Amino acid sequence: MTEKLELLEEHRSFDGVQLKYRHYSTVLGCDMTFSLFLPNKEEFETPPLVWWLSGLTCTDDNFTHKAGAQKKAAELGVAMLMPDTSPRGDGVADSADWDLGQGAGFYVNATEEPWARNYKMYDYIVTELTAIARDEFGLTGPESIMGHSMGGHGALVIGLRNSGRFCSISAFAPIVNPMEVPWGLKAFDAYLGADRETWSEWDATKLLVEYDGRTQTPILIDQGTGDSFYDGQLQPAKLAEIADEQGYPLALRMQDGYDHSYYFIASFIEEHLEFHQKYL
């Protein structure tokens, strides 16, 4: 158990610093890691914060190592916070399947056993890790949120459920309608139980239909046309159609030939950071 923040890595990067920490999460009941990029302190004393939520099987390292976001973040003076994707450890429930259990937290608060004890990723991000960002690092300024695939689902749900908190939301190839696709059906049935009425608060399409926030947080979605998961698991056009009906500010950009990988993310991450900077 790591009761205090433990610095695991520190790297100078593009006039900023890339950090990795471990700490004990009281919400999740296990040790967790997260990564944090901070731009030059002397130039940007209280930078705005962009959250990044990663996808299935990933950790916080995937984004920091592969996305190439540090250069643009340093230039714009933006901090970035990257949580892990699930609780982890020997005492944490898991599955033999890659798309359920550790590495696949789906950013929900599980209500079903054996998952309910640890799988509270929504509360972890919205409350516990938020408090760490503000209290330990002074990141008390404006915030935006973005993510990829399962993390895109998380960014959309957290952004829409916390109206007014985030200045903007963006996603790469997000799961927008988990109640109706295989990845979401499997995870929601395990984590949330058989009562589908309880699932809608974790589905971006349902949240957007019922969205009554006075602040319409702008959304940007990039989707590759070469993504093998596009038709069966992602279906971002569903969310774009609802946004159009609702008059909600959502832009869906179809990117020709791009797949589901970090090559896709690295190709457009600077544009996403520039998008967030406009609102931050």
The catalytic site residues sit at 149, 227, 260
Alpha-carbon distances, residue 25 vs 22, 28, 60, 82, 100 (angstroms): 9, 5, 16, 15, 21
Question: Is the CB of residue 119 less than 8 Å from the CB of residue 86?
Answer: yes
Contacts 24+ apart (CB under 8 A), 205-211: 205/176, 205/177, 205/179, 205/238, 205/239, 205/242, 206/179, 207/156, 207/157, 207/160, 207/161, 208/160, 208/239, 208/242, 208/243, 208/246, 208/248, 209/242, 209/246, 211/160, 211/163, 211/246, 211/248
Angle at 25 between CA 92 and CA 33, to 5 degrees: 85
User: Per the structure block, which two tokens stand in for 162?
Assistant: 């916390």
How remote is the C-alpha of 105 from its chain's centroid? 11
Prior bond of 114 cis (ω within 30°): yes
